[in-house]
Structure 1
């Protein structure tokens, strides 16, 4: 059963809860045995609050992923399976291609094009695996069979892309069983799903296969003008800006004006992260004014100080590293910070005598403290710079030993970004024996240059999410996670034709016609499924600027 419960007044949550409770009561279905599925985790608190208002038992409220996690840990991807770690899977994909006669020469002819093909292969494999996970366990094999038929070898133009897509498909087909398969074995009194921001293929499949009553509460406004769908009393305004800086200043001013008029105790202001660079500038302006900001989008882990420390170490370890690279590393490392006078003497000597390479430096001409610092630095760098081609596992062990020395481990583990760097590079502990990550780490041989490139790619692929202090006045969130949340106001900088609703780049391996046959969203569907600007307000105006 599908109900459209889009509200035009106040918050939609009371109406949603009332609809669900009445529907269960009419069918004499026990509320405590029902499961309510939400599209994303940020909706859990408001949903639980509104269902908790009524006395008695409450339904279980979860997202598909959190519900699956409550049923047990996910399967650890084994050798030859996708790890869903982008950097690790790219390493495995490069090995897969080099093992195939039709692809072995790509890396020799054009290294950059080869890396692009590797990235496309991994992206396609991940998408195939997600699409297959949205099928029921009973239907999945038929989906793979259909996909294989559609990806039959193709001669002429597009033949290489078709081969890459087929490799991605077969790689995805041997992936570990999705943890969400456990949902199909559950037998609640009823499934109640909230649709917000477009259809969820997994949830739709779950409802279609369920042996119990199901209810889909569609909270999307559909073809309705999103501005017309705003609650009475809400105000939508647009500010035209001349340039990025003016846009950032305007967004900051709108937020500050809203904060001055209303208390954020009940609901914060949403800053919609439509443009990463612009959003970071707005955040900087807000923090200068002492505004507490919670960021749900994060930014590239590679831009953090902890990641810069790792990359500085690897650049300094290069056999032909320049003096500036070594100085950059020492100045951010606990080793150099522990002996600032000795470090200053080394830097002054290098500047005075135009020392260009660390290999050309003789510390005997300096005092004892500078000699001791340089000897300790050499002990940290030499195991990396003198290492031969070796597996990723050996490189990670060498990096761990060098990076964690001299008190750096405690500093990294005491920093939120540092902990995420350690996790992204698998430095805390060795991967599980026989796992996909372990297999990738043991196979193949990398030079220091290739390992440095891999570390950089791993840090680029990961996002740093700062810890939430729980007292935010402003919440930075993507548009797809802003809907149905009780914000006092929403400010959306970057809402122009280039950044809002812009066409997505074409898939390098799967043209739109083939994507439609595979049941994957094509460019038009991805554009249509982009979330409309629909927010629930708690009070006051709702500026869009």
Structure 2
């Protein structure tokens, strides 16, 4: 990305008199001067009402430029003017635009008309929709004198009643929102009071109207009558100041990088401040991050949801961790962010949890090894926030918990954390404000109804979602992030508008809320046509600005994206990509051929030697360097878990059964009981993981019956005694030359023979039957059974795979459980012992261990990222 070379002093007068905004201000000021002369009103007795607060400073500067001496009018927004006349404190039932208060009032209103008719999740959605509907109606109610609002709402409430029963809830939300806003007081109500009437503090009210009419401003202008003047902000120059640069980008990341480069190029040319239009909030945040990285100061006037800040993520990690159903990941996430517990102890707890496969916190408390390393006091701290309590008690206890775990200190040093504490009323005594709201809406002094942890968490989430965080900026910034509609009247030296695609810049924007067209017309809400006209006016005004760059993406996640219809109507004038292109020569990536004669394993397992035979580099990485993948805590049960479970069930079954032959019914009952007990012990059918294990439990009856059918034939004693179970999970150690071998055999039986009992090694397989048959086709290629045979000193033995599936074998010839024996296992054992000694001698001598990169071995190899097979240079 182009670095910032020489940034001109932010706030310097880059925009002169020729700027469209300055010319427009000159016309507005001329109208104001004429109105002052016609009415003989001095400037000190004039109030100029602007549509948004950021325009107040621009108006003062424009007036000072045209009237260097003398008094100036008061440039005010409606809220700022009202606050200067009288501070406002909302009543308990008022719509306050504060989600912490409004959600309580909305929940109380819903409870009155629909008590206990929905679950907690649905009621949370209903509360959010009611607050949203009320906020959309609030500007209409605030535009009426307080004494006229109830009369205004009464006929509308009757008209909004649904005619069909299927629209009951829609009508309920509409009438509740209308009732709420008509009974509320607003911060701007003082503008209807005697102290704000003509002749008290001002004799002339000038309303500068934006692209959309402000109901309150127009109502005040009507009230002031002849002592008011309405000027349209939308009357801009039709001609553009220059030809905009059009930038078609590849995808969202390319668009963000190019937008940041356009901003930096304008700054380097001294065109400051630069306006960055926030059509796409996600994209704009990405651009802002890039600008911060290269040292460009940015002031964001749009803000973003408080819930997306780091402080909010830390707070939600606490509420997730204290849940009785918390996962191990939830608790570890909290422990890593909080500073109250030793980092080394937290790392040890995570390592043991991954090794043991413990995914639920409750299971960790009952696990012997994990319980020994759990930080002292942590279980009691977590359990202390699990019991329901009134909202005010929740806030006090949550603040105490944050202080105890060390997160409170980080909140105090973080602007977002400070706003979070203020928004949620976590400060000392701040919760009493919400207690007053609760008492008023519930008619009780008991502190409010008890909220469960899940209900309190939902309330916190809604409050954080409804609050907007605007980071502070010291002094003037080189870049200002703002909506397109707020470009008017502000003399930015350059403008960059990303997100000019058909999705984020539609000529016909969707009206907010769930109101129908008839309801919008009845209530006086902006229609789709009015919104489209306002958007078109904002677009025309934007095109008149100098040094303008328009950007859009041509594809999104593989789908083609068109530019906005407004962009398509412009003359084709491709902008120059300001990014510097650097030629990069790709470096060759040969196959790795390491050697590590000084890092030899102390002993070899069957799987380790199989790695050496499959790929020497895999043996080097996984066995010599001992690099292993960290186990997932929240992984769903898979085929591997199925195999481990089945192995454990059969081991317990045969150890309990021994040489007994209790009969089919008893064997079936034992297997069913052991299957459930083993699944519970392994944590497969408990908590949220149980759903993932259901497919394997569904095939269990078929597996059980197939195994018992095979076992009955295997143990048949018509002609001679059948094999006798000896041991399961048998650990054995042997030597092959100087190398030590070790392994754990699934099962060893004793086979009757004229020379006496001989070992019968059986290895369980739950893979496809064809794959199991392929293992024994080439005896010298089958490492596992030959290796297991090498662990036994007997001169004569048998070895086989026991294939266990829920269906018959290929072609229907084999049963669901089938013994696949390796007849040449003794010959394979001899060759394996000799080959293993030869191969390990070469490794010890320092022979290269190349990555082969062939066959299915590479598809799921844990060392693939190390050998970088996907980047090898072709020979």
TM range (shorter): 0.7 to 0.9
Q: Is the 8 A contact 1:488 1:542 kept in 2?
A: no
SS state at 1:230 partner: coil
2:139 aligned with 1:125, yes or no? no
What is aligned with 1:361? Answer: 365
Measured against aligned partners, the alpha-carbon deviations of 1:386-426 in whole angstroms (never above 9, x if no partner) come to: x1x32222222221110122543232121101011112212
Match of 2:107 among 94, 111, 121: 94
Q: CA deviation at 1:444?
A: 3.0
Match of 1:50 among 62, 75, 86: 62
2:297 aligned with 1:292, yes or no? yes
CA pair 322-86 structure 1, distance change in 2 beyond 3 A = same
CA pair 124-482 structure 1, distance change in 2 beyond 3 A = same
SS state at 2:249 partner: coil
CA pair 415-434 structure 1, distance change in 2 beyond 3 A = closer
What is aligned with 2:248? Answer: 240
Farther-moved stretch of structure 1 (510-519 vs 284-293): 284-293
Mapped partners of 2:512, 2:266: distance in 1: 41
Farther-moved stretch of structure 1 (480-489 vs 118-127): 118-127
What is aligned with 2:416? Answer: 417
Mapped partners of 1:495, 1:40: distance in 2: 24
SS state at 1:61 partner: strand
What is aligned with 1:68? Answer: 82
Mapped partners of 1:309, 1:9: distance in 2: 44
Q: CA deviation at 1:353?
A: 3.4
Residues 32-51 of structure 1 correspond to what in structure 2 (within 5 A)? 32-51=44-63
Mapped partners of 2:189, 2:390: distance in 1: 34
Match of 2:220 among 206, 230, 240: 206
Q: Is the 8 A contact 2:24 2:489 kept in 1?
A: yes
Q: Is there any run of 5+ residues in structure 2 with no aligned partner, and where?
A: 1-17, 552-875
Farther-moved stretch of structure 1 (188-197 vs 281-290): 281-290
What is aligned with 1:3? Answer: none
Q: CA deviation at 1:263?
A: 4.9
Measured against aligned partners, the alpha-carbon deviations of 1:223-278 in whole angstroms (never above 9, x if no partner) come to: xxx7x3434xx3323222232222222222221221121253xxx10110000111
Q: Indicate the RMSD between aligned Cα atoms, in angstroms.
A: 3.0
Mapped partners of 2:370, 2:148: distance in 1: 73
CA pair 536-494 structure 1, distance change in 2 beyond 3 A = closer
Q: Is the 8 A contact 2:132 2:513 kept in 1?
A: no
Mapped partners of 1:177, 1:543: distance in 2: 40
What is the TM-score with the length of structure 1 in the denominator?
A: 0.86
2:168 aligned with 1:168, yes or no? no
Q: Is there any run of 5+ residues in structure 1 with no aligned partner, and where?
A: 1-5
What is aligned with 1:307? Answer: 312
Match of 1:521 among 520, 526, 534: 526
Measured against aligned partners, the alpha-carbon deviations of 1:163-203 in whole angstroms (never above 9, x if no partner) come to: 33112222222212543343553221101111222211111
Mapped partners of 2:277, 2:321: distance in 1: 39
Match of 2:503 among 498, 506, 518: 498
2:547 aligned with 1:541, yes or no? yes
Residues 99-118 of structure 1 correspond to what in structure 2 (within 5 A)? 99-100=112-113, 103-104=114-115, 106-108=117-119, 114-118=123-127
2:454 aligned with 1:444, yes or no? no
2:235 aligned with 1:230, yes or no? no
2:344 aligned with 1:341, yes or no? yes
Rg larger for: 2
Measured against aligned partners, the alpha-carbon deviations of 1:513-534 in whole angstroms (never above 9, x if no partner) come to: 1221221223332333336135
What is the TM-score with the length of structure 2 in the denominator?
A: 0.55
Farther-moved stretch of structure 1 (504-513 vs 57-66): 504-513
Q: Is the 8 A contact 2:259 2:496 kept in 1?
A: yes
CA pair 183-204 structure 1, distance change in 2 beyond 3 A = same
Farther-moved stretch of structure 1 (273-282 vs 376-385): 376-385
SS state at 1:469 partner: coil
Residues 482-493 of structure 1 correspond to what in structure 2 (within 5 A)? 482-493=487-498
Q: Is the 8 A contact 2:21 2:488 kept in 1?
A: no
SS state at 2:451 partner: coil
Mapped partners of 2:435, 2:224: distance in 1: 36
Farther-moved stretch of structure 1 (61-70 vs 344-353): 344-353
CA pair 454-113 structure 1, distance change in 2 beyond 3 A = closer
